[in-house]
Amino acid sequence: MKSDYSNIYSFNKKTLTKTLRYLNKGEIAGLPTETVYGLAGNAYSSKAVKKIFGLKKRPKKNPLIIHYYNINSIKKDVIISKNFVKLYKKFCPGPLTFILKKSKNSKIVKKATAGLKTIAIRFPSHKIIRSILKYSNFPLAMPSANISTRLSPVNAIDVFEDFGKKINIIIDGGKSKIGIESTVIDLTGKPKILRPGVLGYHDFKKILKVNSFKKSKLIKSPGMLEKHYSPGIPIILNKNPKNKSDAHVIFGNKFKGKKNKFNLSKKANLNEAASNLYKTLRDIKNKGYKKIYVSKIPNTGAGTAINDRLRKAAK
């Protein structure tokens, strides 16, 4: 049976208004960003935040990232620090999430930050989410638009696969360019990378002293679940399959293209590989493969983020 995708809309003035109307009422929208698609709700509305946790089946201890238009819009909710301003100037809007101290009079719903005194904020760069943020009078709580532990969505149809008509509106903004979640950097003490992304230690080290992801691995972000990003079939890392009926995820040009081979980047470009990761795992699952083998991927730059996601998907 053909799916009825009638809650997926392209973006224009009319659907911008429609989206804002839903968000104003405390309803949820599936929206594109440059990293992955998000499940967005008004971060000042407890109705909206409750819905997000419910739809995703997300554990209550796992706080949400709050999305803003720019630095002027965060002042009521967040205590701004010098390190934050330095990184903001260089990388925002973009795929970087900051953990900062929450201000006393912050209007952010407590459940959204899992009751913590800190808050995770991001300024996404995708032009659709930027116009929605520009015209809304509130920030958006917006985790990835997938059911907890499953693969993150990089297309409007991926969002539909998990939520169907349970959300009123999904905006189609094309494939997410970056394709994996933002880097999370904790600035509440000595800067630490809590979750690797396409931006990393090498991008930050000229600007401030920061611990690499490996060094700060022990200090986990609350709710950073171990099992995550799973396509729902077993993944075996750093091995080639013996069987042609198993899918083989590869990187670079040293493998000859056979039917069961899925190349993340023929040019051996790690950013390109990151942007293809979830799409590839989803394709493999949808083609009916029962097992995925993944060849070794270099652990530098965006490779650190790819390997982090694969390790969690293989749990």
Interacting positions 250-279 with Mg ion (CB under 5 A): none
Query: Contact positions toward ligand AMP, by CB under 6 A?
Result: 62-65, 99, 113, 116, 118-120, 143-144, 181, 184, 194-195, 221-224
Instruction: Compute the Cα dihedral for 136, 139, 144, 149 and give only its sign.
Output: negative
Stretch that binds Mg ion, among 54-62, 144-152, 215-223, 253-261 (CB under 5 A): 144-152
> Do the bridges between strand 65-67 and strand 118-122 make them parallel or antiparallel, or are there none, so unpaired?
parallel
Classify burial at 136, counting beta carbons within 10 Å of its beta carbon; exposed 0-12, middle 13-18, buried 19 or more.
Answer: middle
Cβ proximity to ligand AMP: between 63 and 95 the closer is 63
Shortest Å distance, C-beta 183 to Mg ion: 14
Q: Hey, what are 296's tokens?
A: 């070794």
The site that binds Mg ion (CB under 5 A) totals a number of residues, namely 1
Q: Which does 118 bind (CB under 5 to 8 A by kind): Mg ion, ligand AMP, none?
A: ligand AMP
Q: Which does 63 bind (CB under 5 to 8 A by kind): ligand AMP, Mg ion, none?
A: ligand AMP
Residue 183 engages Mg ion in binding (rule: CB under 5 A): no
> Do the bridges between strand 8-9 and strand 169-171 make them parallel or antiparallel, or are there none, so unpaired?
parallel
CA distance 22 to 47: 12
Cβ proximity to ligand AMP: between 178 and 250 the closer is 178
Distances (CA, A) of 186 to 89, 104, 272: 17, 19, 26
CA distance 256 to 260: 11
Residue 149 engages Mg ion in binding (rule: CB under 5 A): no
Cβ proximity to ligand AMP: between 28 and 120 the closer is 120
Residue 144 engages Mg ion in binding (rule: CB under 5 A): yes
